[in-house]
Amino acid sequence: MSFDQLQGLGEKEKKRQAGYKRRIFCCTSTACLSTGSGETLQALEQAVAAAGAAEEEAEVVQT
């Protein structure tokens, strides 16, 4: 991948992320999963849906 292609991907991702009013991050590494972050992730996704947030308003991001 060339530097210009990488820059293009970065710009595309920035635009995609800018479409969200809120981005909620939830750790899903092995250590976090072992302490219940999988359930936390599901709860966050359900809470966003239950709040009636449109998909473009909030994004739950696994880190």
Confidence grade of residue 53 (pLDDT, cut at 50, 70, 90): low
Q: Which residue do the tokens 């308003």 mark?
A: 57
Using one digit for the tens of pLDDT, what is the confidence trace for 14-51? 999 998 888 999 999 999 999 999 999 999 999 988 88
Q: How many Å apart are CA 9 and CA 13, to the nearest integer?
A: 6
Asked if residue 63 lies in contact with residue 25, where contact means CB atoms within 8 angstroms, the answer is yes
Return the pLDDT at 43.
Answer: 96
pTM exceeds cut of 0.75: no
Does residue 59 or residue 27 have the better pLDDT?
27
**The one-letter amino acid at 11:** E
Q: How many Å apart are CA 29 and CA 1, to the nearest integer?
A: 28
